Structure 1
């Protein structure tokens, strides 16, 4: 029998060789025999069995077929990764009876548990119900899986909401056996002088300094105009500040740093009152994970991925599909 190692097409192979390639493929792929078993059974060397299995693939005798289970969107994820040059996309299927926030949080928790490393310095924004669901869904590990957990923005909202921000940082640090860094100050203060006074506090200054060590960001993506929940928190923008942002075309924010539909950062007057990591520092962090979903946040999410505010996106299937379409102006 003529030895064939690199067949170019079915027409270039004899019927006898095709029969042998097919038989070996059936024994290996359908009957589950090892290459060693096949070599003994057919009196062939194991190297030749391996080569003939490759021939079967090259000729199309063996074809790999992946059947994606319902609710799995690998193709959609890949398309988004390519369109927006993202490191990774996780698309979540929303099931009846399950809240979107809880589904996003569960998926984000799984992603973090499998990707955070012991030498990671993780920054987390505090004003996000979805991030709260994320941390609540994470499992405690017996070993250290992060180095530091650092709050990215002062507490935003009522005193109770500011306490919740500290608890979020504390709980994530406990789950990852990391050292926590807190922002013991409001995220939005009355004026620039008060902001400078808080930044001069040694504890706050230590957290700001820790931002330089960040390797991973975990952030929510806020909308503009702000949600009713945020407006009711006691930290609503003034009408003049809202007017400025609206005229500039703001669609969203991360840590109260605003951007337009193309992700272009803005420098509104409100920045003089904000105590949080700034846009430039955020962009320097190697991995920036945004967790957000719901059609009401579509423009904000589009701006965040277009402008490079995040390079890992965890969102729902409806938003993911719309992100592949051209924005409706």
Structure 2
């Protein structure tokens, strides 16, 4: 690697921190181990060399290498790794959202009508927030998960609606609670004509975007009222470490069977999909969940951070 390329590589890293993570030049200097003046020059160099536009056009070489290795190890057709060295979770999530939006745009910008199935979660919503607005009324956004909690309230993270607003496309809501009260109740919801129409449309999706949730007392499913304290306890005792649209996954990557499956109304997912299923997740808190999902082959696309990618590869070896 030439000296000039290394300089641009460092400038790109500084640009990620400054323009995406909102770091000050002093904070950048501390992370990169340079003086504040050097950090200021790196940010200026990124701007002068056209590295910073709507997105950062110069990839960080280490992150590019990690994404290639991660894709090969876990059979991913889409893989993006963002810088994360020395940064806290909020900054990492901001970077994942920006990089994830670029991935989403590759599908959303296409003129050919697309069916995009969309999951749930804060990371997914943050990613969609970073997308540019498009005029693609020919696209369809289909919800994979019911947004109704047991008390009748709806989640604030109705992600597919946000996607439809960004693309100006049609929005197909899954008309059911995430978990029905009983098997009989589930059958009532799932046999409704509109429910069947939406699930049929989701099965035809050209691309699927999902979040990966960890399973603990602070996970969104619990804090948003979709599962109770007792249910969290039971799932953890059964070895659940990850969740995708209500499907619970163990550390070995296999689906963990529970009585809650009888009440789950989400779109059914299967490992080793033949169409793009892309997840957006990173940070140390979600590492075990991401590892389980990749081990089980539940997704074939991932946008994550370099510390997570490095650890995934190290433990895989």
TM-score interval (norm. to shorter): 0.7 to 0.9
- The one of 293, 297, 302 equivalent to 2:282 is 293
Consecutive unaligned residues in structure 2, runs of 5 or more: 14-59
Work out whether residues 92 and 317 of structure 1, in 8 Å CA contact, stay in contact via their aligned partners in 2. yes
Q: Structure 1's 190 and 129: CA in aligned 2 closer, same or farther, altered over 3 A?
A: same
Cross-structure match for 2:9: 69
**Partner secondary structure for residue 162 of structure 1:** coil
1:128-277 counterparts in 2 under 5 A?
A: 128-143=121-136, 147-155=139-147, 157=149, 162=154, 164-166=156-158, 168-237=159-228, 239=230, 241-242=231-232, 244-277=234-267
Structure 2: distance between partners of 1:105 and 1:159: 31
Using the TM superposition, give the Cα deviation of residue 243 of structure 1 relative to its aligned residue in structure 2, in angstroms. Answer: 5.1
Query: Residues 101 and 129 of structure 1 are in contact (CA less than 8 Å); yes or no, is this contact kept in structure 2?
Result: no
State whether residues 217 and 223 of structure 2, in contact with CA within 8 Å, keep that contact through their aligned partners in structure 1.
no
CA distance in 1, matches of 2:106, 2:220: 32
Are 1:123 and 2:156 counterparts? no
1:142–1:190: structure 2 CA closer, same or farther, 3 Å change rule?
Answer: closer
Please identify, of 172-181 and 78-87, the stretch whose mean Cα deviation from structure 2 is larger. Answer: 172-181
Q: TM-score, normalised by structure 1?
A: 0.71
Matched residues in 2 for 1:318 and 1:295: separation? 8
**What is the CA distance between 1:252 and its match in structure 2?**
0.5
Cα–Cα, structure 1 residues 111 and 159, in superposed 2: closer, same or farther, change >3 Å? farther
Aligned-residue offset at 1:158? 7.6
Report how far residue 307 of structure 1 moved: 1.1
**Hey, what's the Cα distance between the residues in 1 that align with 2:237 and 2:150?**
28
Superimposed CA distance per residue, residues 156-176 of structure 1 (whole angstroms, 9 cap, x where no aligned partner) = 54879725344x322311322
- Which residue number in structure 2 is paired with residue 303 of structure 1? 292
Displacement, 1:89?
1.4
Partner of 1:29 in structure 2? none
Unaligned runs of 5+ in 1: 1-62
What secondary structure is seen at the aligned counterpart in 1 of 2:135?
A: coil
Q: Following TM superposition, by how much is the alpha carbon of 1:96 offset from its aligned partner in structure 2, in angstroms?
A: 5.4
1:217–1:285 Cα contact (<8 Å) kept: no
Is residue 315 from structure 1 mapped to residue 304 from structure 2 by the alignment?
yes
- Find the aligned partners of 1:211 and 1:226 in 2 and give their Cα distance: 30
Distance of 2:295 and 2:182 partners within structure 1: 31
Task: Measure, in 2, the Cα distance between the counterparts of 1:164 and 1:235.
Answer: 13
Normalised to the residue count of structure 2, the TM-score between the two structures is: 0.73
CA deviations on 1:300-319 (whole Å, 9 max, x unpaired) are 10111111111111111111
For 2:91 and 2:151, the matched residues in 1 are separated by 26
User: Contact 1:153–1:275 (CA<8 Å) still a contact in 2?
Assistant: yes
For residues 180 and 291 of structure 1, the distance between their equivalents in structure 2, rounded to whole angstroms, comes to 21
Partner of 1:14: none
CA drift of 1:80 comes to 0.7
